[in-house]
C-alpha cells in the first residue's frame, strides 16, 4: 500500500474506534465482513431492531442515510480535520 492509503486507513480506523462499542461492532461487521443486519444480529446475539438502532445512530452522527455514505463521510470528516 502507498503511504497515503496507509494514512487514510489509520485515520479511518481511529474514527471507528471513537464510536460507542455496539455501534463500532455493528459498523465493522457490516463494512468489513459484509454481513446483513439479520446476520449481524445473530452474531451479536441482539435483535435486528438493535442493529438498526446502532446503524441509525452512526448515520445520524455522520449525517448520512446509508452504509456507503457512512464510510465516505467517516473518511471525509477525518481528512478535513
CATH number (domain holding residue 49)? 1.10.10.10
Q: Please give the pLDDT value at position 1.
A: 58
Determine if the pTM surpasses 0.75: no
Looking at the 3D structure of the chain, how many domains does it have?
Answer: 1
Model confidence at 40: pLDDT above 50: yes
Model confidence at 38: pLDDT above 50: yes
Collapsing DSSP states into helix, strand and coil, what is residue 65?
coil
Crossing angle of helices 37-44 and 48-62, rounded to 10°: 110
What gap in Å lies between CA 55 and CA 42, rounded to an integer?
15
41-78: pLDDT as tens digits: 999 999 999 999 998 888 877 777 887 887 777 666 65
- Between residues 39 and 81, which one has the greater pLDDT? 39
Range of the domain at 76: 3-80
Q: Please give the pLDDT value at position 6.
A: 77
Cell of 78: 477525518
Amino acid at each position: 500500500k502507498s503511504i497515503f492509503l496507509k494514512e487514510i486507513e489509520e485515520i479511518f480506523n481511529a474514527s471507528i474506534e471513537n464510536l460507542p462499542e455496539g455501534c463500532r461492532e455493528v459498523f465493522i461487521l457490516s463494512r468489513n465482513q459484509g454481513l446483513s443486519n439479520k446476520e449481524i444480529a445473530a452474531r451479536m446475539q441482539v435483535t435486528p431492531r438493535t442493529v438498526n438502532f446502532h446503524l441509525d445512530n452512526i448515520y445520524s452522527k455522520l449525517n448520512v442515510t446509508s452504509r456507503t455514505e457512512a464510510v465516505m463521510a467517516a473518511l471525509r470528516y477525518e481528512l478535513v480535520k
